[in-house]
Structure 1
Amino acid sequence: MRIIDISGPIEDGMWSYGDPYPAPQITQIPPPAWLDYPVYSQTVAMAVQSGTYLETAAHMDQSRLPIDQLPLSRCHRIDAVALWIPRGANEPISAADLERALTNAGFMLRPGDALLVGTGWDSQWYAPNYVTDPPYFLADAIDWVLDHEVALLGGDTPRYDSPHHPQNFFPKFFQSEILLLAPLVNMAQVGTARGKLTALPLKIKDACASPVRALWIED
């Protein structure tokens, strides 16, 4: 079995989506005076969409399933397909791109599968334009994903929709029960296009999303 960590790090002052979403802040807690020996800890303040995170439709509709109520069967060792579609800054991913990559992968995409799309944009994780100019999905690509009844869409881009050429597909996207997992890293290390995905969220009550440790598993 081969396990690839496809989750990015959470660091003090790292990228964020901008106001009103704060950048993560990690602060050292001083050793307490009531112990005879030193111990160390940290406080972490951040939005739930920080680092690599899993998100439900509660991001757009607070009556929908929050992350703490997500069944573990939907985020642990689920059947998954990984596609590789290299893209640079502000370059789109179309339905035709997805279909071509799936054909090249040689696997079927079954209803209920997770679909992960790697572009290589994780190489820009520390770049100043990482969040502002990433690759993005065209509206027809999201239609393709929904038509295939995918249970989860993951990608190594921090924005599925373009801030420069808005596709405005998220209301339709979250009308379904699909989950969003982003942004991923290390997708170039995937050795086979079919595997298992684990992305376990923190049990944050009533939250729409949570940072996860996402794993690609090749049996």
Structure 2
Amino acid sequence: MRVLDLSGPIYNGMWSYGAPLPYVRVEPIASLEKVGWSGHLLQLHTLAGTYLETADHLFPGRETIAEVSIDRFIKKAWVAQLTDKEKWEEITADELNRAVGADFKSGDALLIATGWDQFWGHEDFVQGCPFFLPEVMEWIVEKDVGLLGLDIPSVQDPRMDDNELNRLFFAKDRLLLAPLVGLRNVGKGPGTLIALPLPISGVCGTPCRAVYLDEVITK
């Protein structure tokens, strides 16, 4: 069985979604030479690196990340291998429908590969990313995807200030995992996704470590 890491690296000054979110800081604050042990300052936020997010992001009062049952972080997963996307390229429901097999079941995880993860760290990674047409999110909701994973940092056109597609997705307390790396190495599935967020109380999401097993170990 192969175990594949789908988590992007977190490092000092990495890409950001912009204000009001701060830039990530990873800085040494203790050293072996001075105090006899090593330690670092970590300045993170809920959307740092590869993160897992709940509906509380847009719907106050919904379950926070520490309240989610641990079994919901372990899912049978399918991968939609789309063609490599260009800057600001639209993703359509037709290509997603052709990429996802008929065996997909309600509540399963769907991981969408566009090849955009190759630009992790590039200046256009966030502001130039491909995006969903509204019909794509409607398709995802109709299929009752339990956990949606993406190798793009946003489902919406980054040139628009609009959260409507995310609202449609989160309305029924689904989980969002993004942005992922290495989905091209996974194949089409099915396999098992394990995405474990930090259990920080009272927040809608946290950075997480996401791995893919190329065997199904869930029911």
The TM-score bracket by the shorter chain reads over 0.9
Look up the SS of the partner of 2:40 in the other structure. Answer: strand
Distance 2:128 2:38 in 1: 38
Contact 2:77 2:193 (C-alpha < 8 Å) held by counterparts: yes
CA distance 1:56–1:167, change in 2 (3 Å): closer
Which residue does 1:42 correspond to in 2?
Answer: 40
Deviations 1:60-102 (A, max 9, x none): 12200100111111002x1110111121211111111111111
Does 2:191 align with 1:208?
no
The reply on whether 1:88 has 2:86 as its aligned counterpart is: yes
Cα RMSD after superposing both structures: 1.7
When residues 33 and 7 of structure 1 are mapped into structure 2, their CA distance, relative to the original with a 3 A threshold, is closer
**Cα separation, partners in 2 of 1:124 and 1:113, compared to 1, 3 Å:** same
How far apart, in 2, do the equivalents of 1:190 and 1:32 lie? Answer: 40
Give, as a single letter, the amino acid of the residue that structure 2 aligns with 1:12.
Answer: N
Provide runs of 4+ in structure 1 moved above 6 Å.
none
Check the 8 A contact 2:27/2:40 in 1, yes or no. Answer: yes
What stretches of structure 2 of length at least 5 have no aligned partner? none
Who is 1:178 aligned against?
A: 174
The number of residue pairs the alignment matches comes to 213
Q: Residue 127 of structure 1 aligns with which residue?
A: 122
Letter aligned with residue 82 of structure 2:
I
Stretches of structure 1 that go unaligned for 5 or more consecutive residues are none
The correspondence for 2:136, drawn from 129, 134, 141, is 141
Please point out which of 95, 98, 122 is paired with 1:97: 95
- Using the alignment, how far apart are the partners of 1:216 and 1:80 within structure 2? 8
Deviation track 1:136-172 (CA, whole Å, cap 9, x = no partner) reads 1111000000000110111000011112255832222
Distance in 2, Cα, partners of 1:26 & 1:134: 25
CA shift for structure 1 position 50: 0.4
In percent, how many aligned pairs have the same letter?
37
Q: What is the aligned counterpart of 2:58 among 57, 60, 84?
A: 60
Q: 1:101 corresponds to which letter in structure 2?
A: A
- Normalization by structure 1: what TM-score? 0.92
Within 1, Cα distance between the matches of 2:57 and 2:49?
Answer: 16
Q: Which of 148, 153, 160 is matched with 2:155 structurally?
A: 160
Calculate the TM-score normalised by the size of structure 2.
0.92
- Deviation (angstroms), 1:30: 2.1
Structure 1 residues 115, 31: CA separation in 2 closer, same or farther (over 3 Å shift)? same
Say if 2:49 and 2:179, in contact at 8 Å, map to a contact too. Answer: yes
